[in-house]
Structure 1
Amino acid sequence: MMSLSFSCSASLYAQLPSEVQARSSNLDKVKNLITKSGIPSKITSPLESLQKGNWVKLICGASFEDVTDIRNLSLVYTLAGVDCIDCAAEASVVNAVHDGIEAARGIFPIRRPWVMISVNDNEDLHFRKAEFDPNDCPIDCSRPCENVCPADAISYFGKAGASKGGVLAERCYGCGRCLPVCPYDKIRAITYIRDVAATAELLKHNDIDALEIHTSGRQAESFRELWNGLGDSIDGLRLVAVSLPDIGELTVPAMNSMYATMRANLQCLNLWQLDGRPMSGDIGRGATREAIKFALHLASIKDKPKGFLQLAGGTNAHTVEGLKREKLFQTTTISGKPDEANDPSLALISGVAFGGYARKIVGRILSSLQSEHGFAHLEDYPDHLLKALIESLALVGTVKCYNER
């Protein structure tokens, strides 16, 4: 009976058009690749990942609002086993993330990552957009801004998909690389602060699991105003993260001050995102050094406040290698001795967030998809999906240690 069923299925398959056969074959390859990788996230919760030290977060970008790319990035990295997807605090962006997650779960029965939105308490590099009027640009300009932009956010008249020249605001995430290269000083940065009331309203929906607050760590009053303004909108969250730079000897006092502000009504887990060198992970091996240095400093301090530690800012495929050299990866102490100040079952560094580098390695494939098929759903083109998944698994696997068990 089984043989007959297989024979009939094979016969029907042979009658399908070649492009349909190819699509089915590539989807099978996607599923097989996930299965063979041994992705622990099929069953491991995000909380368990934090405790074990193999938590991975995808940073879509606090200012990145291209919903087509965000949806496809969320699809790919959900299949790759990330624990959290961080995005802009905009309803359309959150919807795109969920759409991508559901598309991934429709392909393979993987558990759902947490969805996080990012806000800021004051001016921050992650919350700005580049802007210029292309009509002011000399005709003979070599356009170095267009060449240096990692998000392909600068366009000119006649470029595919652009209705006008200048900066495509939905794609710009504020890296600032275009600012110093303009030979005519025509580009400016526009900064903004997410509206607290709008954020609180967005958090009241039941489809957001986590919140991240970007702060300089130097303005306690701004942080306090934001936190108090959020009110009870945070009650249903699973995690609150605070992203801050290394401010030397002031870092831990700033963390203690912020934790004191949060503690009274914090009903969930908290995490400190160590933002070493913001938005630089796609540059190269050296970009991750500052994040690792920051982690080494904080991991050795006993009087820091409660909360998981996670790297960001300059993180890329070399980050875990650097953590291993410093004996920080999936270990409870630097010395190997039990740390009485912390739960010995928890890793010193709980995980890594990947932003620019994660978007870059998959973005090349998404750009190819767009040039060939327009603004398409990635799963409708399994050959592109397979290529994107291979790239994302290689990156996420540096933390998850796929196939090393």
Structure 2
Amino acid sequence: MAWSFFCSSAICPQHQVNVTFGCKNSLQNVKNLIKSIGIRSKSCSPNESLRKGNWVKLICGASFEDVVDIRNLSLVYTLAGVDCIDCAADPSVVSAVNEGIETAREIVPIRRPWVMISVNDDEDLHFRKAEFDPKNCPSDCSRPCEIVCPANAIFFERETATVEVPFGTNRTGESKMQGGVMTERCYGCGRCFPVCPYDKIREVTYVRDAMAAAELLKMKDVDAVEIHTSGRQTHLFGELWDELRDAIRYLRLVAVSLPDNGDATISSMNEMYAIMEPHLSCFNLWQLDGRPMSGDIGRGATRESIAFAVRLAASRERPPGFLQLAGGTNAHTVDGLKKRGLFQTHITSGAPKQLHSLIGGIAYGGYARKIVGRVLSSMHSQHGLTSIEHHPEHLLEALKEALYLVGTVKSYNPVVTQQ
């Protein structure tokens, strides 16, 4: 059996190729795959991708802190050609992202995606964790929380106590549950809260330390910041901006992630832009967070993000800045944008007149992690916690999954068949 790889592009048919791999997957197969597709990110800068409307961002998660998975995800999606990798504002996480990027670039000389850290100005769904004490869980519980967790962050083990009794004999006591939530893997999706039949799971929210984030922004391997805000209390946004302001000059991009607040959305965006503009020396971007952390649920999860984009794209009152979708984005998002005439639709603006896309691009979070995460889980079950480049057969499989997703935006659409 051999692998046949066919790459098609609706925009550039001259890049169609047909490459056959042997039975043995190797690191050379990975190099051949990337070379055969002609990934444009070898030469196309992230800001150029925004203008063309084929920007792709990987969201590792504002609260996801599993550095092994983050490193491997960053490696795979760098090879797939993403423009930006968004992660938690934590030094160890940033280091893991950059290690994954640089390892990818040692495999193939591809350009470096921007590294973005996420902060928040108030309580936010993306900045929370689930928490519970498994010892309080009844032993006969069916553990639905463990089943619904998309991050595999909840686990249980039985602990049976052995009690010594008189005359030198032992008696086995009652078994208790242990384990619980792996904090570094929980990214706050909240799906476990409503399914607990005993209401044992608590929500723990937090706000990232602004001063610590400002120091991270000054590092040479951090390129961008994303501020998560509700958009309802712009004074909180202003307070956070004041704390970050001196570090903004080190950046290539400032993003603001906000939900759809209906008629109030545009006015709050303009208020926030007025706060940023005097000290904004780089590009700015508005992340339209349709249905947070839901892209892995199914096809319909992307509807709210697309509807949000339709409203914002039609507004003439919105402030300057690229528009990018998030929240519920998955493999169906591009098709949804195409149906609404928003995918890589170019407009003329600015002085001098410049062409740029109405929608700059798409950020993928839960769905992107899910499709590659299946490969990572299989690799870890076979080999333990390890770096994916040490197991090229898994790297090749993960890269194919990533290329399917990134390719819907970048206009390379690989299809794998067996011969």
CA distance in 2, matches of 1:342, 1:139: 69
Please state if 1:400 is matched with 2:410: yes
Alignment correspondent of 2:295 = 281
Please state if 1:328 is matched with 2:339: no
CA distance in 2, matches of 1:130, 1:176: 7
1:223 to 217, 237, 249: 237
Do the aligned residues in 2 keep the contact of 1:332 with 1:339 (CA within 8 Å)?
no
Post-superposition shift, 1:154?
0.3
Please state if 1:272 is matched with 2:282: no
Report the 3-state secondary structure (helix = DSSP H, G, I; strand = E; otherwise coil) of the residue aligned with 2:355.
coil
Alignment correspondent of 1:59 = 59
Alignment correspondent of 2:377 = 367
Do the aligned residues in 1 keep the contact of 2:404 with 2:413 (CA within 8 Å)?
no
Please state if 1:384 is matched with 2:384: no
Deviations 1:215-239 (A, max 9, x none): 0000111000000011311111000
Post-superposition shift, 1:344?
5.0
* Larger fraction in strand: 2
Paired letter, 1:224:
G
CA distance in 1, matches of 2:262, 2:386: 46
Alignment correspondent of 2:333 = 319
Alignment correspondent of 2:135 = 135
Alignment correspondent of 1:148 = 148
- Runs of 4+ with >6 A deviation: 339-342
Do the aligned residues in 1 keep the contact of 2:403 with 2:413 (CA within 8 Å)?
no
CA distance in 1, matches of 2:290, 2:155: 30
Please state if 1:300 is matched with 2:310: no
Post-superposition shift, 1:156?
1.4
Alignment correspondent of 2:225 = 211
Q: How does 1:164-179 map to 2 (within 5 A)?
A: 165-179=179-193
Do the aligned residues in 2 keep the contact of 1:38 with 1:403 (CA within 8 Å)?
no
Do the aligned residues in 2 keep the contact of 1:57 with 1:85 (CA within 8 Å)?
yes
Do the aligned residues in 2 keep the contact of 1:46 with 1:84 (CA within 8 Å)?
yes
Q: Which runs of 5+ in 2 are unaligned?
A: 1-21, 160-176, 415-419
Do the aligned residues in 1 keep the contact of 2:84 with 2:115 (CA within 8 Å)?
yes
Post-superposition shift, 1:303?
1.4
Deviations 1:187-221 (A, max 9, x none): 01100000111111111211100000000000111
TM-score under structure 1 length normalisation: 0.90
* Larger fraction in helix: 1
1:352 to 355, 359, 362: 362
Do the aligned residues in 1 keep the contact of 2:72 with 2:100 (CA within 8 Å)?
yes
Do the aligned residues in 1 keep the contact of 2:56 with 2:363 (CA within 8 Å)?
yes
Alignment correspondent of 1:234 = 248
Alignment correspondent of 1:188 = 202
Alignment correspondent of 2:117 = 117
Identity %: 69
Post-superposition shift, 1:343?
5.4
Do the aligned residues in 1 keep the contact of 2:349 with 2:355 (CA within 8 Å)?
no
Do the aligned residues in 2 keep the contact of 1:37 with 1:403 (CA within 8 Å)?
no
CA distance in 2, matches of 1:216, 1:237: 23
Deviations 1:74-114 (A, max 9, x none): 00000000000000000000000000001100111110000
Paired letter, 1:141:
C
Post-superposition shift, 1:66?
0.1
TM-score under structure 2 length normalisation: 0.87
Paired letter, 1:387:
E
Do the aligned residues in 2 keep the contact of 1:146 with 1:155 (CA within 8 Å)?
yes
Post-superposition shift, 1:330?
0.4
Alignment correspondent of 1:78 = 78
Structure 1 residues 44 and 96: CA distance shift in structure 2, 3 A:
same
Structure 1 residues 28 and 195: CA distance shift in structure 2, 3 A:
same
Deviations 1:372-402 (A, max 9, x none): 1111000000000000000000000000001
Aligned residues: 376
Structure 1 residues 178 and 343: CA distance shift in structure 2, 3 A:
farther
Do the aligned residues in 2 keep the contact of 1:332 with 1:344 (CA within 8 Å)?
no
Alignment correspondent of 1:40 = 40
Structure 1 residues 178 and 55: CA distance shift in structure 2, 3 A:
same
Structure 1 residues 384 and 358: CA distance shift in structure 2, 3 A:
same
Report the 3-state secondary structure (helix = DSSP H, G, I; strand = E; otherwise coil) of the residue aligned with 1:44.
coil
